Amino acid sequence: MKIFFVCSLSLFFMCSCSDDIKNYPVGSDFIENNISIKIIDTFSVNAGTFKLDSLVTSGTGRILLGSVKDAYFGDLVAQTYFQVNNSNFSISSSAVYDSIGLILNYDTYHYGDTTHLQTYKVHRLLDDFEPKEGYEFYNLSKLEYDEAVLGEVSFTPRPNSTSDSIYIPLNKDLGEDIFNKIRDNDINTVDDFLQYFKGLTVIPDTVTNSHILGFNFKSYSDLNNNTSMRLFYTEDVDDSSEDNNQVIDFFVSSTSKQFNAINNILDNTLMDYLPDQETTISSHDTNELIFAQAGTGISARIELPTIKNLNALSSQSTALKAELTFSPLTNSYSNAQPLKDSLAVYVVDHKNRIVNQLTDIDSNAAYAVLNQNDDEFNQNTYYSVDMSGFVETILASNYDLNYAIMVQFLDYNKTVDRIVIDDFDENNNNIKLSVAYLSY
């Protein structure tokens, strides 16, 4: 069911001149000076929140793991699935098995409080690594896995170095079975291995609920700074001076063979009714707040229904500049959950389907850019968006396009960052569109 939402700002478009609309003469060489620029910032604004049905999370090149509990966004869990293989299947008959483990290499992305202990558990996949529908995996995709835990580790993160990693010891019997099958020539090819071993999933413990970490992987044989399942063994030779320690690394074969399942439970939050993408919750129903979160598809929607009325000002007129500003909720961000320097902005239709990325008047991509001046109460912290291309499109169309804009994160399928936008506050840091309009 589509929920109709109305402006949380009691601002309505005004076509006549007033104290809010200033007139400026332009030029001095005209016989009759009928040219003026009007600055208009009294457009009505409808603000709300919706949730994209699904996000593609395969092909991102980043493993996301962890869980976070958030008063606004509920309980979020990021679980990863991936396939591993190796093109080299050669172990001498004199070799002796040692151990096996999973190496997860940090890529420096982290979200939340990383001072808390976290536990990861590794399971073996039972399903072939194939999407159920289409050619991609999504944030809500799942593959069946064995309930038995192959290995687990508890650790305090150190995510700021790409040369650091987490090592998770895996079941010794699994490693020995893989070792024996390769040594005995039961596994000789990639296809042989994938028939035997379909992949892994790593599941974070949800007790801590404090942070999400990012890990990288490369689909080639780089033993340094790479995520892999590593098999350790030794060669039984007489020359004791020779280094007899050997490894076989099973790497994630490609970015398409990995995805992150990212889900959040919105029960008992302000957004506990988002059944489908077409449903928008008005800011009236969420304490005059709207929301966006990467990874889950939660997106802020800002509709400006009275832009078309600018055409009534004059039969000969044009918009020179248009800017939208909005502010994050004070105290909703911190060092552990910082504001991003820029946000992605998209044009969406009445069903919240993405039409295209927002562009300026010159067809360049337009972003929401953070303006953050140092002040004690963060009253000068806001985002600004160049809306010139959007306004021009609305004014030039012969139809009522019924478009709105969607605010999201630049990497919204490979992070879990979030923002709370204040629709209206006591400092007047509300959502506002200002248009410089030339009449002649």
Domain carrying residue 78: 62-263
Place of tokens 């030029």: 27
Say whether both 222 and 251 belong to one domain.
yes
Domain termination site, one of 263, 296, 311: 263
Count structural domains, the chain.
2
Q: What is the pLDDT of residue 14?
A: 35
Eight-state DSSP code of residue 163: T
Q: What is the pLDDT of residue 374?
A: 61
CA separation, residue 412 to residues 48, 215, 261, 344 (Å): 19, 16, 14, 9
Domain termination site, one of 209, 237, 263: 263
Q: Does residue 396 sit in helix, strand or coil?
A: helix
pLDDT at residue 128 above 80? yes
Q: Distance (Å, rounded) from C-alpha 5 to C-alpha 46? A: 7
Domain termination site, one of 263, 284, 316: 263
pLDDT at residue 33 above 70? no
Q: Are 415 and 213 in contact (CB under 8 A)?
A: no
Could you tell me what percent of the chain has a pLDDT over 70?
A: 86
pLDDT at residue 79 above 90? yes
Q: Tell me the per-residue pLDDT of 268-320, one tens digit each, with 9 for 90 and over.
A: 999 999 999 999 999 999 999 999 999 999 999 999 999 998 888 766 767 78
Q: Tell me the per-residue pLDDT of 195-252, one tens digit each, with 9 for 90 and over.
A: 999 999 999 998 888 999 999 998 766 667 789 999 999 987 665 546 789 999 999 9
Other CB atoms within 10 A of residue 424 CB = 21
Say whether both 35 and 110 belong to one domain.
no
User: Which residue type does 339 have?
Assistant: L
Say whether both 104 and 238 belong to one domain.
yes
Q: Does residue 182 sit in helix, strand or coil?
A: helix
Q: What is the pLDDT of residue 305?
A: 94
Mean pLDDT of 252-277: 94
Q: What is the pLDDT of residue 15?
A: 37
pLDDT band at 376 (very low <50, low <70, confident <90, very high): low
Note the pTM of the prediction, 2 decimals. 0.87
Mean pLDDT of 417-427: 83
Say whether both 327 and 257 belong to one domain.
no
pLDDT at residue 156 above 60? yes
Tell me which range, 73-87, 314-328, 424-438, is most confidently predicted by mean pLDDT.
Answer: 73-87
Angle at the Cα of 403 from the Cα atoms of 397 and 406, rounded to 5 degrees: 140
Say whether both 46 and 189 belong to one domain.
no
Say whether both 81 and 175 belong to one domain.
yes
Q: Tell me the per-residue pLDDT of 185-194, one tens digit each, with 9 for 90 and over.
A: 999 999 999 9
Say whether both 48 and 66 belong to one domain.
no
